[in-house]
Amino acid sequence: MKKSINNLESKLQALLRSQHSHYTQGKVANYIPALEEVKPDLVAVSVATLDGKNVGVGDYQHPFSIQSISKVFGLVMAMNRMGDSLWQRVRMEPSGQPFNSIIQLEWEKGIPRNPVINAGALLISDVLTSHFSASKLAFVCFLRNLAQDENIHVDNEVYQSELAHGNRNAALAYLMKSFGNIEAEISDVLAHYFTQCSVAMSCEQLAQSLLFLANKGLDPISNQRVCSPKDAHRINAILSTSGMYDQSGEFAFTVGLPAKSGVGGGVIAIVPNYGVICTWSPPLNSFGNSVVGMNLIAGIAQELGLSIYH
């Protein structure tokens, strides 16, 4: 049977060693000082499976800034709250553009192409800000509950850094507001968005937290329903076509799993009916994706035969 996990830990160790010379190929995110300081040779893999196992190697319990991986959690919350009406304000098409491009947003009159580019995630932040009495707290609580860990928190240094360098995101938000597609105050929307991005979690926690997406919306550990089967399907579809920024097509082509990356160096990949892989390595390629993180997921997917396109 494929997808066997005998000796998974030793396989992960071997993969980790194989990447030893690749940490120097990318560049740690430097748009804010707080991220720039992270050591480039930190590296981790966790694989959580539906049967409750969670195997990690390297720095898999070391928290890092989840950044855009937070878009997945925000999206779940907004879908649960808004139902299908959400899709009148954001589309589900790949963008064919860099993650923070403002051009397409102007062309398409303030409707973001999908919820995992920056404009879309700001739209989702507006939904959460407008429909939750304390959206930032609600977001953190949602993560603590999913990861079963009350210590998950926002890294305040990262948050302050994001706020101080948030002009392009402010531009995206104001442009959407000029088209009538933002309800809350921009400052509140940005505060929510940067809060999401600044949460610190480990690979182990992220892999565990997202198991519901591999299990039709049901968390297999707590047995609680996180979202509907239909919405789990939809999120996996969006992550497959758009989760890896403007490298999503190449990731599908070479790996074949729904995935989301963050500029903190984390990558999560969903394996339907199997589990979740989370990797972390700070150096990024020119698309903003972790070089070693993608290599590790590719290696695991190949080794275990996990692609959804086979």
CB of 255 to a copy of itself, least distance (A): 9
Catalytic residue flag (residue 31): no
Binding segment (CB under 8 A) for a copy of itself, from list 3-11, 102-110, 149-157, 196-204: 102-110
288 touches a copy of itself (CB under 8 A): no
Out of 228, 241, 285, 303, point to the residue binding a copy of itself (CB under 8 A): 241
Q: Which is nearer to a copy of itself, 43 or 163 (CB)?
A: 163
171 touches a copy of itself (CB under 8 A): yes
Catalytic residue, chosen from 159, 245, 255, 274, is 245
Out of 201, 218, 238, 300, point to the residue binding a copy of itself (CB under 8 A): 238
Which residue shows structure tokens 């969903």?
Answer: 270
263 annotated as a binding-site residue: yes
CB of 202 to a copy of itself, least distance (A): 26
Residues with Cβ within 8 Å of residue 168, at least 6 apart in sequence: 100, 102, 118
Out of 36, 37, 51, 250, point to the residue binding a copy of itself (CB under 8 A): 250
* Joined tokens for residue 39: 């050591």
Out of 80, 200, 272, 303, point to the residue binding a copy of itself (CB under 8 A): 272
Residue 253, exposed/middle/buried by CB under 10 A (0-12, 13-18, 19+)? exposed
- Return the axis-axis angle of helices 186-197 and 70-82, rounded to nearest 10°: 130
Q: Taking a C-beta distance cutoff of 8 angstroms, is the pair 92, 237 a contact?
A: yes
| Nearest-angstrom CA–CA distance, 34 and 48 | 29
CA-nearest of 236, 238, 255 to 294 is 255
Catalytic residue, chosen from 125, 193, 198, 276, is 193
Catalytic residue flag (residue 71): yes
Catalytic residue, chosen from 45, 55, 57, 68, is 68
| Nearest-angstrom CA–CA distance, 308 and 259 | 12
| Nearest-angstrom CA–CA distance, 219 and 205 | 13
86 touches a copy of itself (CB under 8 A): no
- Return the axis-axis angle of helices 118-131 and 186-197, rounded to nearest 10°: 110
CB of 297 to a copy of itself, least distance (A): 15
Residue burial 84-119, b: 16+ Cβ < 10 Å; e: rest: eebeebbebebbebbbebeebbeeeebbbbbbbbbb
CB of 221 to a copy of itself, least distance (A): 19
Catalytic site positions: 68, 71, 193, 245, 263
What residues line the site for a copy of itself (CB under 8 A)?
Answer: 91-97, 101-104, 106-107, 113-114, 167-168, 170-175, 177-178, 186, 216, 229, 232-234, 236-238, 240-242, 246-250, 252-254, 256, 258, 272-273, 307-310
**Which parts are annotated binding residues for substrate?**
68, 118, 162, 169, 193, 245, 263
